[in-house]
């Protein structure tokens, strides 16, 4: 089988994306419309990992404002006109296909940000993924009470992280 590779996500990938999300994030469920809206609003940030005939993962990102956290399983309605970060909403890959693919997705998102004059990547790290994101150049942001409250829907241990592209 050829090496897994990322390609732009299409509406027809939604069932596969939903199935992977349900398997990888059973405790953080999101409706298909939430995925579909991100693909409509910012197709460039939405990719799927193709392995042979199979979709083995997805990555969803969109322009946003730093220190603002979109609640999980909610529509964005629109993207901000004055976006100052590309927000990585989620990257999930089936276990058999992991190893180097997140780094490739983030490199593509970084290129997209630079091309759009956006100098920062942002995300909420869930589970115990903080060291992994640090490895990719993200740093933890000191969270005030307001930011912590917004992180509630992301579960225990969720951390807001930024990566300054100018510094790398």
Ligand X SMILES: CC(C)(COP(=O)(O)OP(=O)(O)OC[C@H]1O[C@@H](n2cnc3c(N)ncnc32)[C@H](O)[C@@H]1OP(=O)(O)O)[C@@H](O)C(=O)NCCC(=O)NCCS
Binding site for ligand X (CB under 6 A): 24, 90-93, 98-103, 125-127, 129, 131-132, 135-136
Q: How far is the CB of 64 from ligand X (least distance, A)?
A: 15
Q: Are 160 and 122 in contact (CB under 8 A)?
A: yes
Decide whether 15 or 99 has the Cβ nearer to ligand X: 99
Distance separating alpha carbons of residues 9 and 66, to the nearest angstrom: 25
Decide whether 69 or 126 has the Cβ nearer to ligand X: 126
Helices (H), 8-138: 14-24, 32-41, 101-115, 130-135
Which position's Cβ is nearest ligand X? 102
Decide whether 81 or 129 has the Cβ nearer to ligand X: 129
Decide whether 34 or 91 has the Cβ nearer to ligand X: 91
Q: Are 86 and 62 in contact (CB under 8 A)?
A: yes
Q: How far is the CB of 95 from ligand X (least distance, A)?
A: 8
Q: How far is the CB of 88 from ligand X (least distance, A)?
A: 8
Q: How far is the CB of 125 from ligand X (least distance, A)?
A: 5
Strands (E), 30-130: 46-51, 54-64, 85-93, 120-125
In a 3-state reduction of DSSP, which class is residue 119? coil
């Amino acid at each position: 089988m050829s090496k897994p590779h990322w390609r732009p996500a299409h509406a027809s990938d939604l069932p596969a994306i939903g199935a992977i999300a349900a398997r990888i994030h059973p405790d953080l469920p999101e409706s298909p419309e939430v995925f579909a809206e991100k693909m409509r609003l910012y197709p460039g940030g939405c990719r799927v990992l193709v392995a042979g005939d199979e979709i083995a993962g997805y990555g969803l990102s969109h322009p946003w404002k730093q220190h603002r956290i979109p609640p999980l399983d909610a529509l964005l309605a629109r993207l901000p006109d004055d976006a100052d970060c590309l927000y990585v909403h989620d990257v999930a890959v089936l276990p058999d296909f992991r190893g180097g693919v997140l780094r490739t997705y983030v490199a593509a998102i970084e290129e997209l940000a630079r091309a759009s004059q956006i100098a920062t990547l942002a995300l909420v790290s869930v589970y115990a993924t903080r060291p992994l994101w640090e490895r990719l150049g993200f740093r933890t942001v000191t969270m005030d009470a307001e930011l912590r409250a917004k992180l509630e829907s992301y579960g225990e241990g969720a951390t807001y992280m930024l990566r300054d592209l100018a510094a790398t």
